[in-house]
C-alpha cells in the first residue's frame, strides 16, 4: 500500500475517532451535577414579578405568594399592559399591579415591557422574575433566593422543565429540557467548562436590584432577552443554576409546534451570538452524526480501521446515553427511553442546520406574526408585521 493510499484510510479514521472522543468528553462534562442547595442565612424580603397577558387560566394561583416559603416578606406584582384584562383581575385578587410606562412603548417585547414596569416600582432589594406558567412553590423560592444571596453571585435561575402533556410535542419538549444534553444543567456545565458566559433561562430568575443598575432597557433592545439579561447580570458577578427544576405548564403541544419552538430557541441564540452555532451539532446533536459515521466507516474503511472507529463511536454513544439518563434522573427521577434522546437530537440537528442557513441568508427571525431584523450582538434593527 502506498503512502497516499494509507493516508486516505488513516485520516478519516483519525477524524472519526477524534470526533467520537470529543463527543464522549463533552457528554461527561454535561453530566456534572449542579451545585448543592444552599440555606438562606437570614430572611430577606422578595418582590416576585409575574408578567401577565389576558385572563390566563390559573392566573389566581400564579399570583398567590407561596405559603410554605421561608424567605421572609413576599410581595407579588402582576406586570401587564394598561388595557390588559389581567390588570383588573389582579386588583380584584388584592395583588399589586404594574402597567407599561409610556417611555417603553417602542420596546418590541411585551414581556420585557411588563417586567420593566414592575422593576421600576419601589420594592424589596431581591427580585424574582417568574413566568406566569412557572409553578413557584416555597422550597423552590427558598433555594432560588438563597443561591442569589451567595457571595460573588449576581443572579440565580432554575432549570425549566415542561410539564407532562398528552401529545408527542409535550413529550419532545419534556425530553429536550429534562433528558438530553440540551437540558439547562448540561448547557451550563458545558459553557463553564469551555470558559464561556453562562446562558440563562428566564422562566424563574432571582437577583438583587443593585446588580442590574440599568434595569431591563438594554435587554429589551436585543433579541433573546433572557440571554441579554444573563450577559448584564454577569457584569456584576456569577450566575448560579439551582438543582431544583421549575415546572412550566403548557396545554397540548403538537410535534410540529414543539419542533418549531426548539428551532426558534436555537435561532434566537444564534442571532444573539453566532459563534454558539460552531459547536452546536457536535455538542447537542452528536448522536445521529455518530450513527451516520458508524455506517460510513463500516461501508468505506477496511475491517481493522472500521472496528477501531466502531469501538470509539460505541464508547461515545455510551457516554452520551449515560449522561442524558443521569440528567433526566436528577431532574425527573426517571431514566427515559433511548428513542426520545435520538428524536431530540435529530430535531436539534435540524434546528442547528436551519439556523446556520438562516444566518447565511439573512439575519431575521419571524415570531408571532412579526419579522425581526437583527444586527451585531443580537440588537433588533427593525420589526415589521407579516401575514
Enumerate the H helices of the chain as residue ranges: 3-30, 59-62, 86-92, 110-120, 138-148, 168-178, 184-193, 217-220, 225-233, 255-272, 280-284, 286-300, 303-332, 338-361
CATH class of 46-264: alpha beta
pLDDT bracket for residue 35 (50, 70, 90)? low
Query: Is pLDDT above 70 for 3?
Result: no
Query: Is pLDDT above 70 for 8?
Result: no
Mean pLDDT score, 274-297: 85
Percent of the chain with pLDDT over 90: 41
Mean pLDDT score, 150-157: 93
pLDDT bracket for residue 79 (50, 70, 90)? very high
Domain assignments of the chain as residue spans, ordered by start? 3-32+275-381, 46-264
* 324-334 tens-digit pLDDT: 888 888 888 87
> Which residues are CB-neighbours of 327 under 8 A, at least 6 positions away?
30, 31, 178, 179, 180, 181, 183, 185, 186
Enumerate the H helices of 1-100 as residue ranges: 3-30, 59-62, 86-92
pTM of the complete model: 0.89
Query: Is pLDDT above 90 for 41?
Result: no
- Cα angle 45, 142, 231; round to 5: 80
pLDDT at residue 339, rounded to an integer: 82
Query: Is pLDDT above 70 for 150?
Result: yes
* 347-387 tens-digit pLDDT: 999 988 888 888 777 788 887 777 888 887 778 877 787 76
Query: Is pLDDT above 90 for 156?
Result: yes
pLDDT bracket for residue 145 (50, 70, 90)? very high
Helix (H, G, I), strand (E, B) or coil at 245: coil
pLDDT at residue 5, rounded to an integer: 63
Cα 67 from Cα 77, distance rounded (Å): 16
Mean pLDDT score, 175-202: 88
Q: What is the mean pLDDT of the chain?
A: 87
pLDDT at residue 45, rounded to an integer: 93
Percent of the chain with pLDDT over 70: 97
Q: Quick one: angle between helices 168-178 and 303-332, nearest 10?
A: 100
The segment with the largest mean pLDDT, out of 28-37, 277-286, 304-313, 337-346, is: 304-313
pLDDT at residue 148, rounded to an integer: 93
Amino acid at each position: 500500500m502506498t503512502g497516499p493510499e494509507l493516508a486516505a484510510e488513516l485520516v478519516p479514521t483519525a477524524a472519526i475517532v477524534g470526533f467520537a472522543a470529543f463527543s464522549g468528553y463533552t457528554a461527561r462534562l454535561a453530566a456534572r451535577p449542579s451545585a448543592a442547595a444552599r440555606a438562606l442565612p437570614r430572611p430577606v424580603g422578595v418582590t416576585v414579578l409575574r408578567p401577565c397577558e389576558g385572563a390566563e387560566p390559573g392566573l389566581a394561583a400564579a399570583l398567590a405568594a407561596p405559603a410554605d416559603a421561608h424567605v421572609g416578606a413576599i410581595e407579588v406584582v402582576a406586570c401587564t399592559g394598561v388595557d390588559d384584562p389581567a390588570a383588573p383581575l389582579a386588583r380584584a385578587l388584592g395583588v399589586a399591579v404594574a402597567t407599561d410606562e409610556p417611555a417603553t412603548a417602542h420596546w418590541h417585547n411585551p414581556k420585557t415591557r411588563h417586567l420593566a414596569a414592575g422593576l421600576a416600582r419601589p420594592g424589596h432589594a431581591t427580585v424574582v422574575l417568574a413566568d406566569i406558567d412557572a409553578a413557584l412553590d416555597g422550597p423552590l423560592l427558598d433555594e432560588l433566593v438563597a443561591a442569589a444571596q451567595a457571595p460573588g453571585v449576581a443572579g440565580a435561575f432554575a432549570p425549566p422543565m415542561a410539564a407532562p402533556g398528552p401529545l408527542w410535542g409535550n413529550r419532545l419538549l419534556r425530553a429536550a429540557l429534562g433528558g438530553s444534553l440540551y437540558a439547562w444543567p448540561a448547557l451550563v456545565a458545558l459553557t463553564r467548562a469551555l470558559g464561556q458566559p453562562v446562558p440563562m433561562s428566564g422562566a424563574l430568575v432571582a437577583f438583587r436590584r443593585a446588580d442590574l443598575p440599568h434595569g431591563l432597557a438594554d435587554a429589551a433592545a436585543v433579541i433573546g432577552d433572557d440571554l441579554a439579561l444573563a450577559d448584564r447580570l454577569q457584569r456584576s458577578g456569577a450566575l448560579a443554576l439551582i438543582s431544583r427544576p421549575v415546572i412550566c405548564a403548557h396545554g397540548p403541544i403538537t410535534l410540529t409546534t414543539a419542533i418549531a419552538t426548539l428551532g426558534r430557541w436555537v435561532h434566537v441564540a444564534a442571532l444573539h451570538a453566532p459563534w454558539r452555532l460552531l459547536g452546536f451539532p457536535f455538542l447537542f446533536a452528536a448522536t445521529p452524526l455518530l450513527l451516520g459515521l458508524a455506517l460510513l466507516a463500516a461501508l468505506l474503511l477496511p475491517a481493522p480501521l472500521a472496528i477501531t472507529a466502531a469501538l470509539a463511536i460505541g464508547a461515545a454513544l455510551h457516554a452520551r446515553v449515560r449522561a442524558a439518563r443521569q440528567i433526566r434522573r436528577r431532574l425527573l427521577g426517571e431514566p427515559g427511553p433511548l428513542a426520545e434522546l435520538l428524536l431530540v437530537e435529530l430535531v436539534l440537528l435540524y434546528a442547528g442546520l436551519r439556523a446556520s442557513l438562516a444566518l447565511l441568508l439573512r439575519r431575521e427571525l419571524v415570531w408571532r406574526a412579526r419579522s425581526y431584523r437583527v444586527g451585531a450582538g443580537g440588537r433588533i434593527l427593525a420589526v415589521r408585521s407579516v401575514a
